[in-house]
Amino acid sequence: MQFIFAFLVGGTLCLIGQLLIDLTSLTPARILTGFVVAGVVLSAIGLYQPLVELAGAGATVPLSGFGHLMATGVREAVDKDGAIGILTGALTAAAGGISAAVVFSLFAGLLSKPKEK
């Protein structure tokens, strides 16, 4: 059943993104940033964690899940380290994902050949 919920939640998030691309004049960068901020806001008001528990990867893989991860990291770091956790929590919690993105981007750049226009 979790696969169905993951598909439905992840698909709904993708549908929202596609509708924003098709029906608004927002740039893709603004839409991506909006998804991260939406994840932070929904996590801050307590609505994203139940979605994660329901849908698993359907809620954690999209960019809104990245915002949720950062908000959770900040919350835990503030509880542990105090106010300095505001600055360090998001990067500590998301370090694995950010590192993987940098490394895989490096390999993709080294292994691909750009086309001349």
| 31 pLDDT above the threshold of 90 | yes
pLDDT of 97 > 90? The answer is no
Average pLDDT over residues 25-34: 92
What are the distances in angstroms from CA 106 to CA 47, 90, 102, 110, 114? 35, 23, 6, 6, 14
Check pLDDT > 80 for residue 36: yes
Q: What is the pLDDT of residue 103?
A: 85
pLDDT at 9: 94
Which tokens hold the place of 59?
Answer: 């809620």
Q: What is the pLDDT of residue 11?
A: 95
Calculate the CA dihedral of residues 5, 10, 15, 21 and round it to 10 degrees. 170
pLDDT of 117 over the 80 cut: no
Please answer whether residues 71 and 58 qualify as being in contact, where contact means their C-beta atoms are separated by less than 8 angstroms.
Answer: no
- What pLDDT was estimated at residue 105? 86
How high is the pLDDT of residue 87? 81
Over range 70-97, report the average pLDDT.
84
Answer for the pair 96, 42: CB distance below 8 angstroms, yes or no.
no
Percent of the chain at pLDDT above 70? 99
Structure tokens at 105: 């981007």
- Percent of residues, the chain, with pLDDT higher than 90: 45
Alpha-helical regions (H) of 45-62:
48-55, 57-60
Nearest to 43 by CA among 65, 17, 19, 10: 65
Q: pTM for the full model?
A: 0.77
